[in-house]
Amino acid sequence: MIANSALERTAFELMTKAAIEIPDDYLAGLRRCADTEKGDLSSFVIQAMLENYEAAKEDRRAMCGDTGLPRWYVKIGNEARIEGGPVALETALRRATATATHEVPLRPNRVHPLWRTDHNNNVGINAPEIEYAFHPDADWIDLTTVHKGGLFGSDYRMLFPGDGIEGIRRFYLDTLIGFGKRGLACQPAIVGVGLGGSKDTSVVLGKQASCLRVVGSRNPDPKIAALEDELKEIGNSIGMGAMGFMGSSMVVDCHIEVGYCHTGGMPMSVHMFCLSSRRSTARLYPDGRVEFRTDPEWFTDYSRRSTVEWAQPMAEAAE
């Protein structure tokens, strides 16, 4: 049994870590951008951000004043048992979100869309979002929080099979350039692309691809992995760097996730996880152990449903 008190305590700690500590994989990727950046203004910006991460860690204060929209991804082992059940888990996550907002402090960003009511705790109607996944043969729970900014750098479009790879490139560039000017997307970013599914699935997959996969990871389908490399490279060939200044630092990495879609369509979404790519994960075991990490390990063969009640292996499914 996984104790409710451990869930709430761990969730609070995750909120704090996500807000303050830049994940190592993103940091290493940004340093690689800094090494090759030739633009003086773009270089200055990246250097300032590198100093900012240090200041955040030293002072234990949030790295960015816009602490985004805190949300939760929960992966539950098939054999895991939660004290109080899933309702108690959701209560713990909501409490931790509210407490951390006051204690860290985070910016109380969450308001009613029409009345702009703000309870100063990042909790409200349908907020924070909690998404679930499951894992076979496991008795643990993974909690991941992501604090992504909510305004710019994401877009969705219904493309069609005839649009092809050329259409994918076009929409990708349009999104990066449109939101890259003036640095609205807070690049260099981890760009996530969702392809396929229905409209909502495409958007969810793209967001998860940007926020829940680490820099350097590749899609298991080698042809999609090659497209990830290609899109990363063309993003860095725009001539645009940090804040939209001349340079080459646009994409720290590009991740693509796919889902089977309607035979007539090819929905696509693009998401940019920013210079404050905030994510933090912990695994809670029934014996009370808690292990913190920065790789959410969200995407697996199981989560992609590549092996469930389906005889075809991934490679054939991709054909």
Contacting another protein within 84-113 (CB under 8 A): 101-102, 104-109, 111
Out of 173, 204, 225, 317, the residue judged to bind another protein by CB under 8 A: 173
Q: Are 266 and 170 in contact (CB under 8 A)?
A: no
CB-wise, 122 or 219, nearer to another protein?
122
Q: How far is the CB of 117 from another protein (least distance, A)?
A: 8
Q: Are 252 and 201 in contact (CB under 8 A)?
A: no
d(CA 11, CA 9): 5
Q: How far is the CB of 295 from another protein (least distance, A)?
A: 22
Q: How far is the CB of 254 from another protein (least distance, A)?
A: 16
CB-wise, 7 or 19, nearer to another protein?
19
CB-wise, 232 or 304, nearer to another protein?
232
Q: Are 179 and 251 in contact (CB under 8 A)?
A: no
Using CB under 8 A as the binding criterion, the count of chain residues that bind another protein stands at 71
Please report, as residue ranges, which positions from 113 to 152 form the binding site for another protein (by CB under 8 A). Answer: 116-118, 120, 151-152
Q: Helices in the chain by DSSP H: which ranges?
A: 4-20, 24-36, 40-59, 85-103, 164-180, 199-211, 222-235, 314-318
Out of 11, 27, 45, 215, the residue judged to bind another protein by CB under 8 A: 45
Please report, as residue ranges, which positions from 225 to 284 form the binding site for another protein (by CB under 8 A). Answer: 234, 237-240, 242-246, 274-276
Please report, as residue ranges, which positions from 3 to 32 form the binding site for another protein (by CB under 8 A). Answer: 19
d(CA 180, CA 246): 11
DSSP symbol at 187: S
Q: Are 272 and 178 in contact (CB under 8 A)?
A: no
Out of 186, 227, 282, 284, the residue judged to bind another protein by CB under 8 A: 186
Task: Provide the token pair at 270.
Answer: 């693009």
Out of 38, 182, 289, 305, the residue judged to bind another protein by CB under 8 A: 182
Of 88-96, 135-143, 154-162, 298-306, the window that binds another protein (rule: CB under 8 A) is: 154-162
CB-wise, 1 or 246, nearer to another protein?
246
Contacting residues for 213 by C-beta, under 8 A, at least 6 apart: 190, 192, 255, 296, 298, 299
Contacting residues for 104 by C-beta, under 8 A, at least 6 apart: 15, 16, 19, 20, 61, 62, 67
Q: How far is the CB of 56 from another protein (least distance, A)?
A: 4
Task: Provide the token pair at 140.
Answer: 């643990």
Q: How far is the CB of 30 from another protein (least distance, A)?
A: 11
Out of 44, 156, 285, 302, the residue judged to bind another protein by CB under 8 A: 44
CB-wise, 63 or 133, nearer to another protein?
63
Q: Are 265 and 159 in contact (CB under 8 A)?
A: yes
257 has which bridge partners?
Answer: 194
Q: Are 84 and 142 in contact (CB under 8 A)?
A: no
Length of the chain: 319
d(CA 195, CA 168): 9
298 scored as a contact of another protein (CB under 8 A): no
Out of 178, 216, 222, 313, the residue judged to bind another protein by CB under 8 A: 178
191 scored as a contact of another protein (CB under 8 A): no
Out of 1, 28, 48, 226, the residue judged to bind another protein by CB under 8 A: 48
Which of these, 188, 260, 253, 189, lies nearest to 219 by C-alpha position?
253
Q: How far is the CB of 62 from another protein (least distance, A)?
A: 4
How many helices (H) and strands (E) the chain has is answered by 8, 9
Please report, as residue ranges, which positions from 53 to 72 form the binding site for another protein (by CB under 8 A). Answer: 53, 55-56, 59, 61-67
